[in-house]
Amino acid sequence: MLDANWTWSHSIDDASDPGATLNEANLPQDVHNFGAEKASSSFDHRHRVVMSFIYQLPVLLDLSPWTRGFFGRWQAGGDFTAQTGAPFTVNIASDQANIGAGPAQRPNVVGNPNDGAKTPEQWFNTSLFSLPTLYTFGNAPRNALIGPGFEQFDCSLQKDIPFSEALKLQFRVEAYNLFNHPNFNVPNRTAFTANFGRISSAQDSREFQLALKLSF
C-alpha cells in the first residue's frame, strides 16, 4: 500500500500561541496597533508532502518449512515527511519605545533579510536591521523571516509470530530519521545580541528502537 499527499496552505493571524515560542513572543509591539501584528502564522508551513507505505515481504514457497517460518510474516513500512520552513519574528531586547516591559518590540529593517545564502552560521542577512530611534517602534514586520524546513524518513520492519489463534508475538525494528537529515530549529532572533542570526540547535538525530509486543 502506498499513500501520498501534498498540502499547500497559508495561515494568517495576529498571534499564533497563548505564550512565547521559539518563533515569536506572541505579544504585540504596540498595543494600540494590532493591525501591525497581522502576518503569516508561526506554524504556517506553506508546502507539506507526506508519503507512507506498507509492504508485505514475499516468501518463496520452495524454501524449507524452517526457513519459511523465519523469513515469513515480515512487513516493512515507512513514512516520509518534508515541509517548508515556518515564519519567525526578530525582536529587540531594549525598550526603545519607552513603554515598559511586556510588549515585544522589533527593530527597523531595510530590504529583504531572507535573500542570500542560508547557512547555520548566518541564516538571514543581519546587516539589514538597525535599532529604532528612542521613543519609536521599529518597522520590521512580525513573522517576516522564514526558518529552516523539515525533512525526515522513518521506517519499520516487523514480524508476527503466532503461537495460537489468540496468542501472538510481534517483533519490531524502527528507525526514526533514518538518513540522519539535520532539521534545524530557528536561529537566534534577538537583534544585536551575540550569535544573532545563527542556528545553535536542531531536532532529534537518527534513532533506532527495538520492540516486542505480546497479544493475547
pLDDT tens per residue, range 139-175? 999 999 999 999 999 999 999 888 888 898 999 999 9
Q: In what order do the strands lie in the sheet with 74-83?
A: 2-8, 47-56, 74-83, 150-162, 168-176, 207-215
The residue with greater pLDDT, 61 or 178, is 178
Strand partners, 56: 75
Residue with cell 550569535: 195
Quick one: pLDDT band at residue 102, thresholds 50, 70, 90? confident
pLDDT above 70 coverage of the chain, percent: 94
Q: What is the pLDDT of residues 4-14, one digit of tens each?
A: 999 999 999 99
Query: Which distant-in-sequence residues (6+ apart) come within 8 Å of 86 by Cβ?
Result: 23, 41, 42, 43, 44, 45, 146, 147
**Cα gap 146→83, rounded to integer Å:** 12
